[in-house]
Structure 1
Amino acid sequence: MKQETLTTPDGAAVVLRTWAPDEPALGSVVIGGAMGVRQDFYAPFAQWLAGQGWRVTTFDYRGSGASLAQGESLRQVRADLFDWARDYETVVDHAHAALPDRPLYLLGHSLGAQLPGLLRNQDKVSGLLSVAAGSGYWRENAPRLRRTVWYFWWVLVPLATRLFGYFPGRKLRKVGDLPKGVILQWRRWCLNPRYSVGAEGEAVRRQYAQARFPVLALSIADDELMTLRGTHSLVSLYENARSEVRRIAPGDLALRRIGHFGAFRSEQESVLWPRLAQWLDALAPAGSAAA
């Protein structure tokens, strides 16, 4: 594993880690993490996937995980979700430059499958495997979450963010610590029926519509946050992309539980991880070398 720090065009530091296979790589996989989830969480899966022949990159968005400088306060971080999309772009550029003649796939977990519609270098992306991702619109949240999320968005987020200057999610055991600009923009998205496209308007709709890479979205039946309806809503934003939604139930794989985060946990190495590798292969056009 190799760790590097990239500098985005606007001067932000983004720390990434790369796992390279022993043999020539099939291509690149960039793992886009979920909201408030550090890249450390994906390390076991990234290492395993590299063992299957892929060059795998993980990263932390600015202001989070290893990309938050030592001694830097989140109160000082000026970032929103557009900035995080620029971080994603920078990592994609770096991964593509390492293997310019091989396919580059995004494996987006939750938020990591929402932001690719905002990328300005979509031409470098060969496909998106979306895992446990939905639009985030609150009425399309899982039932248990939907019963309490109104309090989260209308009381907890505005109050805590105003008091602390950022969202102290770790203290509150909600999502994770997030920059003020990120949580407040995400709030606007989640309160709009069309999510990011509805909240941000026509320019963002066109960005999603420009995506031509195939999208394969995995909806997890026992996801405690996202629903099948929400997954379809997210995929519909990529209106001109070839897309498919697959419903994955734990029982189909003889598992007790998967949930929103379970796909990347180490206990899935022998069951779900090989399926994820197969689904990455399924994104490749028929007859391509990566198929």
Structure 2
Amino acid sequence: MQTQTLNTGTAQISLRVYDTTSAPHTSVVIGGAMGVKQSYYAPFAEWLSGQGFRVTTFDYRGSGDSPTDTPNGGLRGFKADLLDWARDYEAVVDAAKAALPDAPLYLLGHSLGAQLPGFLRNQHKVSGLVSIAAGSGYWRDNAPQLRRMVLYFWYVLVPLATRLCGYFPGRSLRKVGDLPAGVMLQWRRWCLNPQYSVGAEGEAARRSYEQVTFPVQAVAITDDELMTWRGTQNLINLYANAPRSVERIAPADVKARRIGHFGFFREQFSQTLWPHARRMFERMGSVANTTA
């Protein structure tokens, strides 16, 4: 594993590159969930690199190991929103494609990481998206246990805490993690809109999603504590012109008691869910070859 810093011109992004010992046949960029550091995906990335993939993980600006440009190095006053994070994703795709220009490049998006590809301006460099535990964040699409408190979260806690602190202090509140104010307040607008990101951002956002033509394959986890089947379908259907499919995986399918929103990337699933992800990339390669 190599640690790198990518200078995008507007931000510095922390990367980790996992290179296979043999000649890599495919490049994968892992887009992380909201508030989840790239280090969380390290065991899966290491495993995937051992399967012949060149894997890149990253932290969005103002999160994880990606530095801020504020005087105290913190998030107070740091300017970033979700569209800036899409630009970060875009820059990482550019760098990964430049490193392996003749190989297909796939995205593996966890939660938010499968939402932002609809905003990429370099979609032509992407060969496919595997979506894990992702869906529309519209609050009525949240899992029942989350819906019970989410309106308090969006209408009281988020505006108040963000205004007082100049960023969202999620680590102290044990919710999501510390996030730039612009990211959190924009995400709030998305989650309060029935059409989620395209409803909040307008027709240009809808068109951007509809320009995606690479295959999109989604995995919905039946015991996901945050996301519902309907929410997953609503997100994937934004990619209206992409070959797309959604499948459900239950803990019983992999002889586990629980998977949940975050479990897919735990090492206990290195013999079950992780090989399934590899097969999904292989299937997308077959789709691309068929439609070429």
Structure 1 residue 285: deviation in Å?
Answer: 2.7
Structure 1 residue 12: deviation in Å?
Answer: 0.4
* Aligned amino acid, residue 165 of structure 2: F
How many residues align? The count is 288
Residue number in structure 1 paired with 2:151:
150
Q: Does 1:59 align with 2:58?
A: yes
Residue number in structure 2 paired with 1:191:
192
Residue number in structure 2 paired with 1:118:
119
Q: Deviations over 1:144-168 (max 9, x none)?
A: 0011101100100000000100000
Residue number in structure 1 paired with 2:90:
89
Say if 2:127 and 2:288, in contact at 8 Å, map to a contact too.
Answer: no
Residue number in structure 2 paired with 1:5:
5
Structure 1 residue 287: deviation in Å?
Answer: 8.2
1:265-276 matched pairs, under 5 angstroms: 265-276=266-277
Q: Deviations over 1:201-248 (max 9, x none)?
A: 001111111111110010000000000100000011111111000011
* Aligned amino acid, residue 243 of structure 1: R
Structure 1 residue 69: deviation in Å?
Answer: 4.5
Residue number in structure 1 paired with 2:280:
279
* Aligned amino acid, residue 2 of structure 1: Q
Distance 1:149 1:287, change over 3 A: closer
CA distance in 1, matches of 2:286, 2:97: 18
Cα RMSD (Å): 1.3
Q: Does 1:30 align with 2:8?
A: no
Residue number in structure 1 paired with 2:204:
203
Distance 1:59 1:179, change over 3 A: same
Residue segments in structure 2 that go unaligned for 5+ positions in a row = none
Q: Does 1:167 align with 2:172?
A: no
Q: Does 1:21 align with 2:20?
A: yes
Taking only the aligned residue pairs, the percentage that are identical comes to 66
Q: Deviations over 1:81-114 (max 9, x none)?
A: 0000000000000000011111000000000000
* Aligned amino acid, residue 37 of structure 2: R
Distance 1:33 1:240, change over 3 A: same
CA distance in 2, matches of 1:69, 1:166: 13
Runs of 4+ in structure 1 deviating by more than 2 angstroms, as ranges, are 68-71, 285-289
* Aligned amino acid, residue 268 of structure 2: E
**SS of aligned partner of 1:148:** helix
Residue number in structure 2 paired with 1:264:
265
* Aligned amino acid, residue 131 of structure 1: I
CA distance in 2, matches of 1:27, 1:4: 20
Q: Deviations over 1:159-211 (max 9, x none)?
A: 00001000000000000100000000000000001000000100111111111
CA distance in 2, matches of 1:260, 1:148: 18
* Aligned amino acid, residue 48 of structure 2: L
* Aligned amino acid, residue 108 of structure 1: G
* Aligned amino acid, residue 193 of structure 1: P
CA distance in 2, matches of 1:72, 1:97: 31
Residue number in structure 2 paired with 1:253:
254
Residue number in structure 2 paired with 1:43:
42
CA distance in 2, matches of 1:244, 1:181: 32
CA distance in 1, matches of 2:22, 2:199: 45
Structure 1 residue 288: deviation in Å?
Answer: 4.7
* Aligned amino acid, residue 222 of structure 2: A
Structure 1 residue 8: deviation in Å?
Answer: 1.2
Structure 1 residue 76: deviation in Å?
Answer: 2.9
Distance 1:287 1:106, change over 3 A: closer
Q: Deviations over 1:230-267 (max 9, x none)?
A: 00000111111110000111111211110000000111
Q: Does 1:214 align with 2:215?
A: yes
Say if 2:13 and 2:60, in contact at 8 Å, map to a contact too.
Answer: yes
